[in-house]
Amino acid sequence: MHMWTRQLCRKVLSCHLKWLTQLHRGVQLCAVRTVSTTHSTGVLGSLQVTHGDHVHIRDVGHVEQVLGKMAAGGREKLQVISDFDHTLSRSTHNGVRCPMTHDLVKDSRFISESNQRRICEIWSYYYPKEISTTLPLHEKIPLMVEFWNKIHDIFLESDLSRQAIRTIVRESDTQLRDSCNTFMSLLHKNDIPLLVFSAGLGDVIHEMFEKHHLVFPNCRVVSNFMTFDPAGKVVGFRDPLIHICNKNRSVLPDDTYSSKEEERTNVILLGDSLNDLQMADGVPDLDQILTIGYLSRHMERLQDFTEGFDIVLIQDETLDVANAILGKIVDSDG
Ligand SMILES: [Mg+2]
């Protein structure tokens, strides 16, 4: 049952030293590595996993155990919870940081240059606090509420509408991670719930999924949604405000987990922030959880990420590893 995981982990560990050497040389890492022929006939080979030097696993035995139990539980026990910005969406493209949902609106022609400058100043002040691992939570939370509200207030001062949001997304070249289409289609095909839990802008996320033909009934988005007047103008934001520190059960709608979903006690969680690890807090009777963290910038956070997430993927702009794991669980159902 667990042979493929052991093979994966051995391969990952053997590559780790080489990866560090490359990183220190500033070499752009290749996220895709061909599965060796020694694995091609085993379970690992059948997964078509694109392993590389970019994978970090804190506790090989733990991951192996969790994956084995998840495979035994199959699709009926599984649900997926994912962040959106820089998790389902790309983090970087050709070495350049990709915009997040707030950025897309901020940088659009619907926000005046003076308001864009104000947002940049706000961002410069609050973002270091957002990613700080030393700022106590009781100090960080009110700062994050201020951060989000100040940005949203500027959006409300601007000439935004439902149609403007649609136009912004349609005109942007923002991309989802490579193989995100496969990921979401696989979940849909197997009727596995996907909760997209985002402190970004829910309306932008919906438009992104529309644009990429990824609107599926098994996918629910919990995020910051705008409210509109009868003419379609943006007039507010729905409560509760979701920011980076409260992505947990405290802001989930009461009907997030129906009686049917309560039986899905195994969770794959994807995120690009340590705060994303809270996203599964509301899962009833959580049994097994596998957390996958994406780290593309601020490499000084690697140790914290490795301690927080079960699997950390460095500069990997694909969902290939998640797809391989998902495929294994689905296949185990026969
Ligand atoms: Mg994110």
- The segment(s) of the chain belonging to CATH 3.40.50.1000 are 56-93+175-331
Which is the catalytic residue, given 85, 203, 310, 316?
85
Whether 85 is catalytic is yes
Q: Please report which confidence band the pLDDT of residue 282 belongs to, taking 50, 70 and 90 as the band edges.
A: confident
Cα(230) to centroid(ligand 1), Å: 32
pLDDT of residue 260: 67
Q: Please report which confidence band the pLDDT of residue 26 belongs to, taking 50, 70 and 90 as the band edges.
A: very low
Cα 303 to chain centroid, rounded: 19
The H or E element containing residue 93 is strand 92-93
DSSP letter (8 states) at residue 281: T
Higher pLDDT, 217 or 6: 217
Higher pLDDT, 182 or 255: 182
pLDDT of residue 53: 67
Crossing angle, helix 113-131 and helix 137-157, to 10 degrees?
170
Q: Is pLDDT of 55 > 90?
A: no
Q: Residue count of the chain, please give it.
A: 334
- The segment(s) of the chain belonging to CATH 1.10.150.340 are 96-171
Level-2 CATH architecture, domain 96-171: Orthogonal Bundle (1.10)
Cα(38) to centroid(ligand 1), Å: 36
Please state, in angstroms and as integers, the Cα–Cα distance from residue 153 to each residue in 137, 141, 222, following that order. 24, 18, 20
Tally Cβ neighbours within 10 Å of residue 10. Answer: 11
Q: Which residues surround ligand 1, an ion (CB under 5 A)?
A: 83, 85-87, 272
Whether 53 is catalytic is no
End-to-end CA distance of the chain: 14
Which is the catalytic residue, given 83, 103, 310, 316?
83
Q: Is pLDDT of 322 > 90?
A: yes
Separation CA 130–CA 145 (nearest Å): 11
Cα(175) to centroid(ligand 1), Å: 14
Segment 10-24, tens digit of pLDDT:
434 333 333 333 333
Cα(262) to centroid(ligand 1), Å: 26
56-93+175-331 maps to which CATH number?
3.40.50.1000
Cα(56) to centroid(ligand 1), Å: 19
Separation CA 43–CA 156 (nearest Å): 53
Q: Is pLDDT of 43 > 70?
A: no
As to burial, measured by CB atoms within 10 angstroms (0-12 exposed, 13-18 middle, 19+ buried), residue 33 is middle
User: If you average pLDDT over every residue of the chain, what do you get?
Assistant: 85
Cα(123) to centroid(ligand 1), Å: 15
Higher pLDDT, 328 or 154: 154
Segment 228-268, tens digit of pLDDT:
999 999 999 999 999 999 999 889 888 887 766 778 999 99
pLDDT of residue 258: 73
